[in-house]
Amino acid sequence: MNEYDSNRIYDLLSTVGYSKTEEKKDADCFLLNTCHIREKATEKVYDEVGRIKKDFKNLNKPLVIIAGCVAQAESKEMLNREPYIDMVIGPQSYHKIVDLILISERKKIKITETEFDVIKKFDELKNISSKQNKISSYITIQEGCDKFCHFCVVPYTRGPEYSRPFDQIILEANSLIKNGAKEIILLGQNVNDYNFSNNKTKYKLSSIIKELNEIKNLKRIRFMTSHPKDMTEDLINCYKSCDKLMPFLHLPIQSGSNKILKLMNRKHDIKYYLTIIDKLKTINKNIGISSDFILGYPGETESDFNDTIDLIKKIGFINSYSFIFSPRPGTPAALKKSNKIDVSRKRLKKLQLVLENIQRENNKKYMGQTCEVLVENKLNNQEKYFGRTKYMIPVIFDADNCKPGELLNIKITSFNRNNLFGSYKFNKLKVA
What is the contact surface with ligand SAM in residues (CB under 6 A)? Answer: 37-38, 151-152, 154, 189-190, 225, 227, 252, 254, 292, 294, 323, 325-326, 328
Q: Kindly state whether residue 145 participates in binding ligand SF4, applying the rule CB under 6 A.
A: yes
Interface with ligand SF4 (CB under 6 A), residue from 152, 261, 402, 420: 152
Question: Cβ(194)–Cβ(225) under 8 Å?
Answer: no
Residue 308 half-sphere exposure, CB side, CA atoms within 13 Å?
A: 29
Q: Kindly state whether residue 149 participates in binding ligand SF4, applying the rule CB under 6 A.
A: yes
With CB cut-offs between 5 and 8 Å by kind, which of ligand SF4, ligand SAM, none does residue 294 bind?
ligand SAM
With CB cut-offs between 5 and 8 Å by kind, which of ligand SF4, ligand SAM, none does residue 155 bind?
ligand SF4
Shortest distance (Å) from residue 191 CB to ligand SAM: 8
Q: How far apart are CA 226 and CA 252, in angstroms?
A: 7
Q: Kindly state whether residue 261 participates in binding ligand SF4, applying the rule CB under 6 A.
A: no
Interface with ligand SF4 (CB under 6 A), residue from 96, 164, 219, 227: 227
Interface with ligand SF4 (CB under 6 A), residue from 189, 192, 257, 319: 189
Chain centroid to Cα 49, Å, comes to: 24
Nearer to ligand SAM, 10 or 323 (CB): 323
Query: Which class for 54: exposed (0-12), middle (13-18), buried (19 or more C-beta within 10 A)?
Result: exposed
Nearer to ligand SAM, 110 or 147 (CB): 147
Question: Cβ(36)–Cβ(157) under 8 Å?
Answer: yes
Chain centroid to Cα 251, Å, comes to: 13
Q: Kindly state whether residue 268 participates in binding ligand SF4, applying the rule CB under 6 A.
A: no
Query: Dihedral through CA 327, CA 333, CA 335, CA 338, nearest 10?
Result: -60
With CB cut-offs between 5 and 8 Å by kind, which of ligand SF4, ligand SAM, none does residue 148 bind?
ligand SF4
Shortest distance (Å) from residue 35 CB to ligand SF4: 12
Interface with ligand SF4 (CB under 6 A), residue from 21, 76, 119, 148: 148
Shortest distance (Å) from residue 376 CB to ligand SF4: 28
With CB cut-offs between 5 and 8 Å by kind, which of ligand SF4, ligand SAM, none does residue 426 bind?
none
Stretch that binds ligand SF4, among 17-25, 151-159, 305-313, 336-344 (CB under 6 A): 151-159
| Whole-angstrom Cα Rg for the chain | 23
What are the residues whose beta carbons fall under 8 Å from the beta carbon of 361, sequence distance 6 or more?
A: none
What are the residues whose beta carbons fall under 8 Å from the beta carbon of 236, sequence distance 6 or more?
A: 276, 279, 280, 283
Question: Cβ(244)–Cβ(212) under 8 Å?
Answer: yes
Question: Cβ(294)–Cβ(323) under 8 Å?
Answer: yes
Residues that bind ligand SF4 (CB under 6 A): 145, 147-149, 152, 154-155, 189-190, 227
